[in-house]
Amino acid sequence: MKAQKSLFWLLLLTAFIMACKKEYSYEKGKLNPSAGSLQSGTTGDCLGSVVQGIYKVDTTLTDSNYVDVKVDVTTVGDYRVSTDTINGFYFSATGVFTATGENTVRLQGNGRPQTVGTNIFTVTYDSTQCTFSVTALPGASGGTAVYTLQGAPNNCNPGTTQGTYAAGIATNSSNTATVNVDVATVGTYAIVTTAVNGVTFTASGTFSGPGPQAIVLNASGIPTADGSFTIPVTVGTTTCSFTLTVVAGAGDYFPRTTNSNWSYKFDNDPMDTLFQNVISQTQSALGNTYNVFMYNDGSGVDTLGYFRKASGDYYQYMDVGSFFGLDNEMWGEYIFLKDDVGAGTSWTSSVFTNTYTDTTTTPHTTVPITVRFKETIQQKDVTVTVQGKTYQNTIVVLEEYEASSNGGTTWSLLPFNSTNYYARNVGLIKLDFVDSSGSGTSYLQEITRSEVF
């Protein structure tokens, strides 16, 4: 056991490099300040933000003007979430978080727009920021438009959707819906549908003339399930609806698309976090092409690993020698996940033979060593809750590590393993690393947010 513990020591150190410390500050004057982070994407946009109301020049904002943003709360307590003041108006909210995990905060609009145009607001909470945009419309446009929906009270005309909607994958600019209206009085308009299956459609603007018009609604949110869903659209006293079809998607349990990104927390510590993302560059090796993952632990950016998928098999290409703390660099790949097999299925990787020098002995002892990975599907397509958020269709994989000192004739399990949770169309949502040797190096890695493109 002593040799095995020293063999795996570098692995433990490598795993813990992924953790980082993030300072955070409390708001002044708060007796019981909360803590957490705004949910944002790679470009800094507020994830899940919904802008409500019509914004017109020289018109004071009312209760109908607000923006919803999402906050990952790590410590309950008092909060203030606010934006900067742009073009004469701003948004803010105060209150008390009573539960950790993802919370939605409604920022109330204040002031009145001064000039026409798009305004980008920066939201601040704790030590985090994100952005959203609001378009101010002309004040002299004839007031609020009067119009009705074509097709009401039945199906919207034409009520067509554009783009692909897949369960577990965030909508983007390609996801829209088109409805026709009849305009009686020109002016400004704003449409916001209620959220159905995690998706909301919105549109705002100014009608330049009366008569039939087409409105393109922009989708936001992440569909939570596949199937067909009815989306009601209401304008004044008229309501029509259209059908939104959500597919199961590619069923990818470890997405590798460019710009996809994930944030994690270690041991439920808000100061111990990791951000990882996929870059556009790829890596060629062993006749295969791998997607490149990067990570940022707060101290710098570096390569996290190289990954590919073939049929239902997910591969990682890596320096196995460095991973196991062996003497020499030794690159190869292994299958860390299969999505087309049932619970109870196990497999082992190819074997990797190297040498290991035990520096705890005098003189140092160098011995040949053969290692391999062992994977077991413990659960398939189960529901798992991580940091207060529920993930459907999750595969749970136990990853173990085996070593042999006789070229693979007999194998011994090393006293370390990790249980990995992969949610469909999200990726790794949880990793539970256990050190059973008694050295106290176990840790828990949990997802706090994700954005898959």
Query: Any residues with CB less than 8 A from the CB of 28 and at least 6 apart, and which?
Result: none
Is-contact 239 232, C-beta < 8 A? yes
Structure confidence at residue 127 (pLDDT) = 84
Bigger pLDDT: 304 vs 171? 304
CA distance 394 to 411: 30
Per DSSP, 15 falls in state H
Is-contact 338 369, C-beta < 8 A? no
Strands 365-386 and 331-338: unpaired
CATH of 27-139, one of 2.60.40, 1.10.3470, 3.40.1350, 2.115.10: 2.60.40
> Quick check: 3 pLDDT over 50?
no
pLDDT in tens, 37-91: 888 765 677 876 788 888 888 889 999 899 999 898 888 999 999 999 999 999 9
**Mean pLDDT for all residues in the chain:** 86
Structure confidence at residue 43 (pLDDT) = 62
CB count within 10 Å of CB 112 equals 18
Query: Any residues with CB less than 8 A from the CB of 105 and at least 6 apart, and which?
Result: 68, 69, 70, 71, 79, 81, 93, 95, 125
Structure confidence at residue 1 (pLDDT) = 24
Residue in the block written with tokens 């993030």: 22
Structure confidence at residue 36 (pLDDT) = 87
pLDDT in tens, 307-362: 999 988 999 999 999 999 899 999 999 999 998 888 999 999 999 999 988 888 88
Beta bridge partners of 94: 80
Mean pLDDT of 91-113: 92
Structure confidence at residue 168 (pLDDT) = 66
* Phi, psi (rounded to 5 degrees) for 16: -85, -10
CATH of 141-249, one of 2.10.25, 1.10.357, 2.60.40, 1.20.950: 2.60.40
CA distance 375 to 346: 6
Mean pLDDT of 152-173: 86
CB count within 10 Å of CB 331 equals 14
Same fold, 27-139 and 141-249: yes
CA distance 279 to 261: 9
CB count within 10 Å of CB 3 equals 17
Weakest mean pLDDT among 6-15, 146-155, 307-316: 6-15
Structure confidence at residue 102 (pLDDT) = 84
Q: What is the DSSP string of 157-225?
A: SEEEEES--BTTS---TT-EEEEEEEEEE-EEEEEEPPPBTTEEEEEEEEE-SSEEEEEEEEEEE---S
Structure confidence at residue 11 (pLDDT) = 41
Structure confidence at residue 188 (pLDDT) = 84
> Quick check: 20 pLDDT over 70?
no
Structure confidence at residue 109 (pLDDT) = 95
Structure confidence at residue 249 (pLDDT) = 61
* Burial (CB count within 10 angstroms: exposed 0-12, middle 13-18, buried 19+), residue 28: exposed
> Quick check: 282 pLDDT over 90?
yes
Mean pLDDT of 286-308: 92
CATH class of 252-451: mainly beta
pLDDT in tens, 440-451: 678 999 999 999
pLDDT in tens, 232-279: 999 989 999 999 999 876 578 999 999 999 999 999 998 889 999 999
The domain spans of the chain are 27-139, 141-249, 252-451
pLDDT in tens, 393-421: 899 999 999 999 998 899 999 999 999 99
Structure confidence at residue 436 (pLDDT) = 85
> Quick check: 25 pLDDT over 60?
no
Structure confidence at residue 41 (pLDDT) = 65
pLDDT in tens, 180-230: 999 999 888 888 888 898 888 988 888 888 999 999 999 888 787 889 999
> Quick check: 2 pLDDT over 60?
no
> Quick check: 142 pLDDT over 50?
no
pLDDT band of 13, cuts 50, 70, 90: very low
List the one residue out of 438, 434, 402, 441 whose CA is nearest residue 420.
Answer: 434
